[in-house]
Amino acid sequence: MLQQRVAVIDLGTNTFHLLIAETTKQGFQKLYSDKVPVKIGEGGISEGMITNEAQTRALAAIDKINDILQQYKVPESKIWVVATSAFRSAKNGQALADTIEERTGFKVDIIDGSKEAEYIYFGAKTALDIGDTTSLIMDIGGGSVEFIIANQKRIFWKQSFEIGGQRLLDQFMRTDPITELDIQRMNIFLEEKLWGMSEVVFNYSPKMLIGCSGTFDTLTEINDARYPKGQSTRLSKTESEMDLDDFHEVYQALVWKGRSERLKVKGMVEMRADMIVVAVCLIRFIMDRYDLEHIRMSSYSLKEGLLSKMLGEMMD
């Protein structure tokens, strides 16, 4: 394959992601990567709408991304744009996608949850070697959460659930800090929403959780900051790990603090300071419910997975 510049834009519920890369014989080399907090689910996702304020933030972010793509001279035919949960569940999601196309020329593909899960799997297997044993892969978005049961060679099962961080935040974080009662309410809700998944998980019996990007990137930063200088939980540029003891210590350091105190935790970033509470509660529920023993973190997710898959198809 001739070397060429390509780009992926992932229009997520909480964040718009941009990846610009150059193709190589091995796959791709990142040239530029950025995430723009837009929170298009804020104030409307639970009602199935993207608010006017959220649309304004989305279009400002798209303009910024478009400027960067022009600076890097990425051909229009090599820019892939996907939108996920907020776009597919909002009554005005397609209208916003159409506005983005009119404004920039980007054709926005509003993908379903199954396709989103597939791209996340490709991202995880590009970042790390899943191995022959079965793992449970998890990606926590603002609108949806994707679960994939897989090994390095194949997907056995995948599904997307509309239980993303913004939805959980709206429904269960009635106070800050969150209360024990609201965590219990959330766990009951999760038990009901994920009941069909439980049988599948017990059939395949994964022992490892692989968390992709987003919340898991922040957990990596927080966990790393707890270790003495020179020590790290990072196994490579794209993989890190966390044992159960470390996870529970980080959980305790986040859940019972208010926002201002969470922002003082080393490794915390402002864009995740709100959603991180319900996200770690969700992770704890999954770890406990399915008796998972260890967490591996992939810094790659949807955008890298989409790029890997598209480049693979171009080489076939």
Secondary structure (DSSP) of 23-65: E-SSSEEEEEEEEEE--TTTTTGGGT---HHHHHHHHHHHHHH
Picking from 111, 137, 162, the residue at the C-terminal end of a domain is: 111
- Same domain for 84 and 139? no
- Quick one: DSSP state of residue 172? H
Q: How far is CA 157 from the centre of its chain?
A: 18
- Same domain for 10 and 80? yes
Residue 69 belongs to what H/E stretch?
helix 52-71
- Cβ neighbors of 247 (< 8 A, separation 6 or more) are 219, 283, 284, 287, 295
Q: Is 315 within the bounds of a domain? A: no
> Which residue has tokens 């973190």?
297
- Same domain for 64 and 141? no
Which residue from 63, 16, 8 is spatially nearest to 214, judged by alpha carbons? 16
Picking from 111, 145, 175, the residue at the C-terminal end of a domain is: 111
CA distance 161 to 195: 11
pLDDT the model gives residue 313: 79
For the chain (length 316 residues), average pLDDT per consecutive 10?
88 96 90 96 93 98 98 96 97 98 98 98 97 98 97 98 96 97 98 96 96 96 89 91 96 97 96 96 98 96 96 74
Q: Is 121 within the bounds of a domain? A: no
pLDDT the model gives residue 315: 66
Q: Are 16 and 41 in contact (CB under 8 A)?
A: no
- Same domain for 163 and 294? yes
Q: Are 213 and 116 in contact (CB under 8 A)?
A: no
Which residue from 311, 294, 142, 163 is spatially nearest to 213, judged by alpha carbons? 142
Q: Is 316 within the bounds of a domain? A: no
- Same domain for 169 and 259? yes
> Residue 105 sits in a domain of what CATH number?
3.30.420.40
Q: Is 312 within the bounds of a domain? A: no
- Same domain for 55 and 167? no
pLDDT the model gives residue 101: 98
Q: Are 89 and 47 in contact (CB under 8 A)?
A: no
Per DSSP, the three-state class of 225 is: helix
Picking from 76, 111, 146, the residue at the C-terminal end of a domain is: 111
Q: Is 161 within the bounds of a domain? A: yes
- Same domain for 70 and 148? no
pLDDT the model gives residue 316: 56
Domain tally, the chain: 2
- Same domain for 59 and 163? no
The number of beta carbons lying within 10 Å of the beta carbon of residue 199 is 8
- Quick one: DSSP state of residue 142? S
> Which residue has tokens 């990567």?
33
Cα-trace Rg, the chain: 19
- Same domain for 265 and 156? yes
Q: Is 19 within the bounds of a domain? A: yes
- Cβ neighbors of 208 (< 8 A, separation 6 or more) are 133, 135, 136, 292, 293, 294, 295, 296
Q: Is 139 within the bounds of a domain? A: yes
- Same domain for 64 and 184? no
Model-level pTM? Answer: 0.96
Its domain, for residue 277, covers 129-302
Q: Is 198 within the bounds of a domain? A: yes
In whole angstroms, how far apart are CA 316 and each of 1, 73, 118, 153, 243? 10, 26, 19, 18, 39
> Residue 218 sits in a domain of what CATH number?
3.30.420.150
- Same domain for 184 and 211? yes
- Same domain for 137 and 104? no
